[in-house]
Amino acid sequence: MPHTMPFRGLPISQRDVEYAYGPDSELREGVTPEPARRALTVPDGTTVSYVVFPGTGPTVVILHGLAGSGREFEPTARALAGRRVILIDQRGHGHSTRNPADTSRAAFVDDVVRVIQAESAEPVDLVGQSMGAHTAMLVAASEPKLIRRLVLLECDAGSGTPEEHAALGEFFRSWKVPFVDRDAAAASLGGSPLAHAWAADLEQRPDGLYPRFDPDVMVATISAVATPRWTEWEQVTTPTLVVYAENGMFTPEQKSQFVARGAYATRVDLAGGSHDAHLDAFTEWIAALSSFLETR
């Protein structure tokens, strides 16, 4: 996490976000092609859930940020018309195991590697945002033969303080759950695109709606991300696009240093948008992403 709060760009503009999935994870009528949810269980017992959008290769694998899920990248998957896309719910998130025993960076990386090996015989294009971008960077460093192209949205080598992480945990614990419905949840969380993404992903229980993550797991996860991984970043040999938003969470110095130390990194800056530019600067995000992934 960078040395700024509030988390993931809140508050941001009040623009809403459209989703392909409805409240019960069913596709809305008319959205094609139909994706399929799959899962695998890794050696430590964690179940990793992911959604596959049919299409042609190279396959695009997308990793969400902290406290998110693959659901918030469904508009991105649909915008990559014709491409096969895999949206992974990283451990502790979404439909994957809620309280995994291991929240180390190595465990997150291993999960992604296993999904790629299970789903693609050829190198994939790996995309990540925030914590997911950090995971993607480490995957590319450890398994370069699996990755054709790498896209990092709002990423650095690792940063943040224990105080920031504790404050983040308190924020998640402050959610007034259960929420009565998704509109009430989005309003309670600030009404931003990120708030609507969180609301769309809430789990229905008999007494109301709850987040699909545990605050303590989120704190443990982001605490591991805080350790700078410059050695790994400098080892990445995959062609890499680093994308920053005008109103993102990183300082000009952080951005410049990160890109300068990436041997194969190209930088694109989006006009407008927050740390969650895939939600609130969607057109610009898709233009940058598509252009880079179309390069052969």
- Looking up residue 92, the CATH number of its domain turns out to be 3.40.50.1820
d(CA 41, CA 17): 32
- Tens-place pLDDT, residues 19-49: 333 333 333 444 455 899 999 999 999 999 9
CB-based burial label for 147 (10 Å; 0-12, 13-18, 19+) = buried
Which DSSP helix (H) or strand (E) runs through 270? strand 265-274
Alpha helix ranges (H) inside the chain: 74-79, 105-119, 131-142, 162-173, 182-188, 193-200, 215-225, 230-235, 252-260, 277-280, 282-293
Classify residue 187: in a domain, yes or no: yes
- Report the alpha-carbon distance of residue 262 to residue 70 in Å, rounded: 27
- Listed range (9-13, 48-52, 104-108, 240-244) with the worst mean pLDDT: 9-13
Mean pLDDT of the chain: 90
Specify if 58 maps to a domain: yes
**Distance between CA atoms of 119 and 37, rounded to whole angstroms?**
12
pLDDT at 33 (0 to 100): 59
Domain total in the chain: 1
Phi/psi at 47 (5° precision):
-95, 125
Examine residue 2 and state whether it is found in any structural domain, yes or no.
no
- Give domain status of residue 265, yes or no: yes
Quick check: is 284 in a domain? yes
Question: Structure pTM?
Answer: 0.89
**205 lies in some domain:** yes
Residues 6+ away with beta carbon under 8 Å from 75:
17, 18, 19, 20, 278, 282
The burial of 16, by beta-carbon neighbours within 10 Å (0-12 exposed, 13-18 middle, 19 or more buried), is given as: middle
In the chain, the percentage of residues whose pLDDT exceeds 90 is: 87
Q: Among 68, 19, 11, 66, which Cα is nearest to 188's?
A: 11
Residue 1 falls within a domain, yes or no? no
Which domain, by its residues, includes 227?
7-293
